[in-house]
């Protein structure tokens, strides 16, 4: 999984993160991230998709050292993120930022937009004087289209406007990577569109995005590469132009695409149901070493490789330019009928 043709910005290698366990807890250990590798190039827009609980938000937080890891290594601009000391981390935090799902809740209710901007600029641009801060505040608010709202408090802002305040604060740091967790969830169609336009508009050659979303419409409109996660693992890494039923290969990605097309076209499709019916037919003990999709996978059953899928971890296979899939089915004879 490399970002060809670009200088690397973020490199994650073998990241493992578990929840639960503990000395006295009886519930089992959940592997939120199970040996994950991910590269993001300078200025690249990567989308991370997958169902909730697949570990995509956790991966985003790990890249920014917002949560600990059990093992693995993350570098940002060549620096080890988890080994960085307090001063180095502070410098680093200016270069990578995160837009949270409920960004609106993080604005302070008693501060005006201008005061919040001022606070962020003071923190990240200590070299600026009062006049410099005022000027930068105006510039940034203009960039996100909030100039008229500078003296408002969050209570009088709309949901979309609150998110834009969050973005403006983030831009004050001159970031090179923005991790955006569900930036459009909970917004109505018009504001969603505005946000997408804004994200595109703010993008420059140096700024990379990691977009965490299950909104395929958003993903198609702005990203270049799509990384599909399932149960803590990356299973497919595909250029955005190939995203769809005909271009993707992993059986789980296919199911996602089919479901999405079903929603978009309202067209009757029997394929999805067939897949699910097939999945229910046979039960097999899936070990944690096996493919995370083995228990539901119709392809594995049809090809008769279920026992292999359930016990061995599939490695990535290159299936095209910048396109990798972790699935045993791809190297088995007879798979073409599915693709």
Q: Does 109 bind another protein (CB under 8 A)?
A: yes
Cα separation, 68 vs 64, in Å, equals 10
Cα separation, 280 vs 277, in Å, equals 5
CB of 87 to another protein, least distance (A): 11
**Three-class SS of 115-184:** HHHHHHHHHHCCCCCHHHHHHHHHHHHHHCCCHHHCCCCHHHCCHHHHHHHHHHHHHCCCCCEEEEECCC
Taking contact as CB under 8 A, which single stretch among the options 16-24, 61-69, 198-206, 263-271 is the one that binds another protein?
Answer: 61-69
Q: Which of 42, 123, 262, 284 is in the footprint of another protein by CB under 8 A?
A: 123
Cα separation, 15 vs 13, in Å, equals 6
Q: Does 88 bind another protein (CB under 8 A)?
A: no
Q: Does 173 bind another protein (CB under 8 A)?
A: yes
Q: Which of 133, 149, 162, 169 is in the footprint of another protein by CB under 8 A?
A: 169
Q: Are 175 and 166 in contact (CB under 8 A)?
A: no
Length of the chain: 339
Taking contact as CB under 8 A, which single stretch among the options 87-95, 224-232, 282-290, 291-299 is the one that binds another protein?
Answer: 87-95
Q: Does 170 bind another protein (CB under 8 A)?
A: yes
CB neighbour burial string for 222-241, b if at least 16 within 10 angstroms, e if fewer: bbbbbbbbbbbbbbbbbebe
Q: Does 25 bind another protein (CB under 8 A)?
A: no
Taking contact as CB under 8 A, which single stretch among the options 106-114, 223-231, 256-264, 281-289 is the one that binds another protein?
Answer: 106-114
Q: Does 125 bind another protein (CB under 8 A)?
A: no
User: Could you list the residues that contact another protein (CB under 8 A)?
Assistant: 61, 64, 66, 90, 93-94, 97-98, 100-103, 105-106, 108-111, 120, 123-124, 169-170, 173
């Amino acid at each position: 999984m490399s970002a060809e043709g670009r200088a690397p910005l973020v490199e994650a290698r073998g990241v493992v993160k578990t929840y639960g366990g503990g000395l006295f807890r009886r519930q089992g250990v959940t592997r939120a991230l199970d040996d994950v590798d991910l590269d993001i190039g300078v200025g690249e827009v990567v989308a991370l998709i997958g169902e909730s609980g697949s570990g995509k938000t956790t991966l985003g937080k790990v890249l920014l050292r917002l949560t600990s890891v059990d093992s693995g290594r993350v570098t940002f601009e060549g620096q080890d993120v988890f080994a960085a000391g307090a001063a180095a981390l502070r410098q680093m935090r200016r270069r990578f930022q995160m837009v949270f799902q409920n960004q609106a809740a993080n604005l302070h209710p008693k501060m005006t937009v201008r005061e919040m901007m001022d606070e962020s600029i003071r923190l990240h641009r200590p070299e600026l004087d009062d006049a410099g801060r005022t000027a930068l505040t105006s510039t940034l608010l203009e960039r996100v289209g909030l100039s008229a709202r500078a003296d408002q408090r969050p209570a009088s802002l709309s949901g979309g406007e609150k998110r834009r305040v969050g973005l403006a604060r983030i831009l004050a740091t001159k970031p090179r990577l923005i991790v955006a967790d569900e930036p459009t969830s909970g917004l109505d169609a018009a504001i969603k569109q505005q946000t997408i336009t804004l994200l595109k508009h703010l993008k420059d050659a140096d700024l990379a995005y990691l977009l965490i979303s299950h909104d395929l419409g958003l993903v198609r409109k702005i990203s270049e590469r799509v990384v599909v996660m399932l149960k803590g693992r990356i299973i497919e890494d595909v250029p955005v132009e190939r995203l769809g039923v005909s271009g993707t290969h992993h059986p789980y990605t296919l199911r996602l695409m089919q479901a999405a097309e079903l929603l978009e076209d309202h067209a009757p499709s029997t394929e999805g149901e067939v897949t699910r019916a097939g999945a229910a037919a046979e039960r097999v003990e899936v070990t944690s070493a096996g493919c995370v999709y083995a228990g539901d996978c119709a392809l594995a059953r049809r090809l008769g490789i279920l026992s292999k899928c359930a016990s061995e971890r599939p490695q990535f296979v290159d299936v095209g330019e910048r396109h990798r899939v972790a699935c045993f089915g791809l190297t088995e004879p007879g798979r073409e009928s599915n693709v």
